[in-house]
Structures are given as structure tokens and as C-alpha cells.
A = this chain, B = another copy of it.
Amino acid sequence: MTEKRQEKRQELRTRLIEAARDRIAAGGLRGLRARDVTADAGCALGGLYTAFADLNELVIHVNSDTLRRLGEAVAEASAGIEEPGTKLKAMALAYLAFARTHNALWLALFDTTMLADVEIPQWHKDDQAGLIDGIARTLAAISPDMDEDARQRRARTLFAAVHGIVSISLEKRFIGLSGDHLEGELESFVDLVARAPTPLNR
């Protein structure tokens, strides 16, 4: 591929990701159609398949873009906080705020319907890992003696726990916490985790 063609393809990819992101943000993954996305991006239906393998791959690119924005929101909310427990709390609250504000895009990150049978590519898993790394770095300040593997595992556990609290409560399919109590419970929960140094260290 010549440099010029490469550049045009990259530009088409960017336009398609933006169009798909806007569609998902407005209406979720349900009912997302290649026809609508390409029309919004101002290209022919076939353009999608020049730029990506298929609509699923495009959605995974939108998800990586969402992870980047989520990572930025979490980093921004916790920047400059030294005390690791307070920092973890700020990160958890930023996660909740993002899930509320960008609900459809956030839900798409965990989709088990449209992407049910799609193998998640390694580059997207690497983007997921980026989010976990920020937690692991903060845990390092709480438990400096923990080895790197254990810390990575513990960071995944904490992420999944916070995600569970947020998602059960926001999805409203299973009894969770009402909106009034969600922030408070999340704070108490992270406090509890951050202030129990010994078992964190095992």
C-alpha cells in the first residue's frame, strides 16, 4: 500500500470509529447497523470492509477508544493525590461517574451479546490491561513488598469488585444499591480494602 493510500485508509478508519461511537452512545449496541454507520461517516457500505474486517472489529476499536477516555477520566480524577487509599477512592468514584455519564459506551466494553462469539484481539486486551496498571501502581504504594504478579492479580480483583458494585447497581436487573447510597458504599468499600494492609499483602 502506498503511503498516500495508507493515509486515506487511516482517515476512513478514524471517521468510522467516530460515527460508530456516536451511534453506540446514542442507542447502544442493540440495533447498530453497518449501513447507518457508513452513512454517518460519509462512505459507501463497502468502505467499512476496506477499513475493518467487519462491524465487530469496528466495535472493538470503539471500545479501545472508550477505554482510553475512561483511563484519562480516572487518571485525571486521581492525579496529584498522594495517599493511596484516597487515590483508589477517587479512581473508583471516577469509574462510577464515567459509567453513569457514558452509560452505553461503558456497557459496550462488557458486551456479551453482539460480540459473544468474537475472539477478543490481543491489542484490545492490552488496552484493558492499561486500566488495571493504574490500579496496580497505586497498590504498590500500599503494599510495596507484594510481588508484581500478585499485585497484578490483586488489581484485577479490585477492578472486578468495583465494576460489580457499579454494574449491578446501574443495570437494575438484580437488587443493588440505590443511586443515593452508591457513592457512599463505594467509598466505604474502597476504604475497607485500602486500610487492610496485611491481607492485601498475601
Q: Is the CB of B173 within 8 A of A156?
A: no
A164 to chain B: closest CB distance in Å? 2
The answer to whether A177 touches B153 (Cβ under 8 A) is: yes
Contact B199 A154 (CB under 8 A): no
Interface residue? A161 (CB, 8 A): yes
Interface residues of A in 146-200 (CB under 8 A from B): 153-154, 156-157, 159-165, 167-169, 171-177, 181, 185-186, 188-189, 191-193, 195-196, 198-200
- Interchain CB contact under 8 A, A176 and B160: yes
Bitwise, A119-134 to B at CB < 8 A (1) or not (0) is 0100001001100100
A6 within 8 A of partner (CB): no
With both chains docked as a complex, state the minimum distance between the C-beta of A157 and any C-beta of chain B, in angstroms: 5
Q: How near does chain B come to A148, taking the closest CB pair, in angstroms?
A: 14
Tell me if A113 counts as interface (CB < 8 A to partner B). Answer: yes
Please report the C-alpha to C-alpha distance between residue A3 and residue B178 in the assembled complex, in whole angstroms.
Answer: 42
How many of chain A's residues touch chain B, expressed as a range? Answer: 35 or more
Bound Cα distance A110, B169 (Å): 12
A115 touches B (CB below 8 Å)? yes
Q: Which residues of B contact A167 (CB under 8 A)?
A: 160, 164
Which B residues are in CB contact (< 8 Å) with A162? 161, 164
Q: Which residues of B contact A195 (CB under 8 A)?
A: 196, 198-199
Q: A176–B188 contact, CB under 8 A? A: no
Q: Check: A33 CB closer than 8 A to any chain B CB.
A: no
- Tell me the A residues contacting B by CB distance below 8 Å: 30, 109-113, 115-116, 120, 125, 128-129, 132, 153-154, 156-157, 159-165, 167-169, 171-177, 181, 185-186, 188-189, 191-193, 195-196, 198-200, 202
- For the complex of A and B, the 9 pairs showing the least CB-CB separation, nearest first, are A164-B164, A161-B161, A160-B168, A192-B199, A196-B196, A160-B165, A160-B164, A157-B185, A128-B175
Supplied contacts A125-B175, A164-B164, A195-B198, 12 more A-B pairs, CB within 8 Å = A112-B171, A120-B172, A129-B175, A154-B185, A157-B177, A157-B188, A160-B167, A163-B164, A164-B165, A164-B168, A188-B199, A188-B202
